[in-house]
Amino acid sequence: MADDPDLKETGIVVFGSSPLEFCLLLPVKSGDVYITPDQFLDHLKNKVNEWDMHRGDPHSQVCPPTVFKAGKNYLLRAGTLAVNTIQVTLPHPIDIVFGKLHRLEDKDYRAVDALLKNSGRPTCSDLEAYMSDNPDIFELPQAQLDKLIENIEMLWVYLEGSAEGLDVRGKFLNKSLAEKTAVWKEGGGNLSQARRIVDSDPAS
């Protein structure tokens, strides 16, 4: 990959369960390694297929940048590795976990356990900061939004032992809607999805 002149000076982010398990020295149970480039997406997809990296265990899956749902500041604590002219970014395990909030699985909780054992994090304060700093994670169709909130509540209880002090819809979803409203007032969007969320929320 690093020898391909068309991928010169391309940045690649590696994420997903496999690198998470690997960096935490857990048994690697996931066969896919997700990668996303900062340019030449289609070219990289073709090269991964050409080099037969899309087969086997593990195998690489090239994703658009929007697939990785990490916080907007995740690069501040990410690691980087230079492979010739390609810069490989390895997000912090906490950011990989938070990037999977929309579909947390048992293996992700094993990663959380390993993180807690090694560093005492993530904490509910980390989770709260992630939601506060990234209100756009709630900009989802209703079914996906409900699942995200359910996963956040489950992880919060897992970390805290109770749901005391947790109000995802009242505190964090409202911030997302407020930002949408500001965009709409500036003429940069519409409130159709915001209205659907409000209309379907019994608390509204």
pLDDT in tens, 179-196: 555 554 555 544 444 444
pLDDT in tens, 47-69: 676 666 655 566 677 888 778 88
Average pLDDT over residues 125-136: 88
Closest CA to 107 of 34, 32, 54, 30: 30
Percent of the chain's residues with pLDDT above 90: 12
Average pLDDT over residues 129-146: 86
Evaluate if residue 201 carries a pLDDT over 50: no
Average pLDDT, the chain: 75
φ, ψ dihedrals at 158, nearest 5°? -60, -40
* Per-residue pLDDT, 150: 92
Residues 6+ apart with CB under 8 A from 62: 35, 36, 37, 41, 44, 45, 48
Evaluate if residue 164 carries a pLDDT over 80: no
* Per-residue pLDDT, 151: 93
